Amino acid sequence: MTIPMAQPVLGEAEEQAVLEVLRSGRLSLGPRVPEFERAFAEWLGARHASAVSSGTAALHLALRAVGVSEGDEVVTSPFSFVASANAILYERATPVFADIDPVTLNLDPDAAAAAITGRTRALLPVHIFGYPADVPALEAHGLPIVEDACEALGAVHADGVKVGARGHPATFAFYANKQLTTGEGGMLTLGSAEHKERVDSERNQGRAPDMDWLDHDRLGFNYRLTDLACALGLAQLERLDEMLADRAKVAGWYREALAGSEVGLPCPDADGNVRGWFVFVVQVPRERDRVIGALRDRGVPSKPYLPAIHLMSFYRERFGHREGEFPVCEDVAARSIALPFFPRMTEGQVAQVAEALLTAL
Ligand SMILES: Cc1ncc(COP(=O)(O)O)c(C=O)c1O
């Protein structure tokens, strides 16, 4: 039996929630949007939350909220999904990459510090694969921080604060493989009421809350999330703790099945940091692409995840990036494989993947 790469947990609660919205006729700009925002903020412990159409939209609005604009530099991780760097370019600012920590795979605070210049307007750490980035270390620079928490719902910092609840604008994504899904969608958590007002306006074509429909007092976008999606999100939020626990359980099975092998495993939780499990990514010692092919031959899908952003053709051509600039990132990116991973994965499926991987090696 072929194993899926990812699979959302959807049931009657989700069906009912979406049907209710369909029957109400209020498909957008209705009551489910603020309900989902409030429930999400409460679950996380964030002051404010704004629902948007994607994690990428959340990143764009977050960077605008902290004042990133043309000519600015934003220090960020090259080991991320491309959207975290692209969003910086949307504002004609420059992503300045700094290398990652070889254990956590997150932005190395020392490398980030060395990359700061007089033009640095913000820092954009990514909580990659759901492991908390060292945001407290970055806070020491006194620069605005935007957190890419798109993979990190459920993660907790060493001081007990959930990732995304420190007060910096933080972004979440709800694509179908994420810890919580609305099909497509995103959330931006915020610590300041002014940021919330600006984001809510800019996601809705720059319209102020008290304005007539066709009056706009600033540049805006259509980054709205529908009531259908928010209803789905509310139903998913009800089962989020359970889904997160199931993901952690599956990760535990993988860890046991691959223990003692030459496969590099995701770093275990350390110093009080807690990972919010999103993907199970391993590093193989050699021949990554052949291993992916061998897995495919045995009905096991897998992905080279993640490629280094600075070595993607667009970034090479635009900025002249070359191999060797960020050696830790490049080494990890060349050896990483995302394995099938989802909350209802069985122990038998995990054993099948692990066996296929060890045989391939
Ligand atoms: C680290 C990271 N940043 C940003 C995004 C963008 O989110 P979306 O696909 O919802 O635009 C993702 C989504 O996969 C991600 O993993």
172, containing H or E segment:
strand 170-173
Cβ–Cβ < 8 Å for 143, 116 = yes
Name 71's Cβ contacts closer than 8 Å, sequence gap at least 6.
92, 93, 94, 119
Q: What is the pLDDT of residue 219?
A: 95
Average pLDDT over residues 277-292: 97
Give the atom of ligand 1 at the shortest distance from the alpha carbon of 173. Answer: 10
Does the structure show a pLDDT above 70 at 213?
no
**Rounded distance between C-alpha atoms, residue 233 and residue 226, angstroms:** 11
Contact 107 CB / ligand 1 (< 6 Å): no
Q: Would you please indicate which residues are annotated as catalytic (active-site) residues?
A: 178
Q: Is the CB of 54 under 6 A from ligand 1?
A: yes
pLDDT of residue 2: 84
Task: Match 């096991």 to its residue by tokens.
Answer: 300
Is the CB of 150 within 6 Å of ligand 1? yes
Q: Identify the three-state secondary structure at position 211.
A: coil
Q: How confident is the model at residue 1 (pLDDT cuts 50, 70, 90)?
A: low
Q: Tell me, using a 6 A CB cutoff, whether residue 173 lines ligand 1.
A: yes
- The response to whether residue 315 sits with its C-beta less than 6 Å from ligand 1 reads no
Would you state the pLDDT for residue 62? 98
Residue pLDDT, tens place only, 152-203: 999 999 999 999 999 999 999 999 999 999 999 999 999 999 999 999 999 9
**Cα 221 from Cα 225, distance rounded (Å):** 12
Exposure string for 107-131, b = 16+ CB within 10 A, e = fewer: bbbebbeebbeeebbbbbbbbbbbb
Averaged pLDDT, 42-69: 98
- Calculate the average pLDDT of the chain: 97
Across 219-232, average pLDDT = 98
Q: Which atom of ligand 1 is nearest to the CA of 126?
A: 1
Mean pLDDT, residues 74-91: 98
pLDDT tens column, 308-338: 999 999 999 999 999 999 999 999 999 999 9
- Ligand 1 centroid–CA 147 distance in Å is 12
**Is residue 42 over pLDDT 90?**
yes
User: Atom 9 in ligand 1: which residue has the minimum CA distance?
Assistant: 55
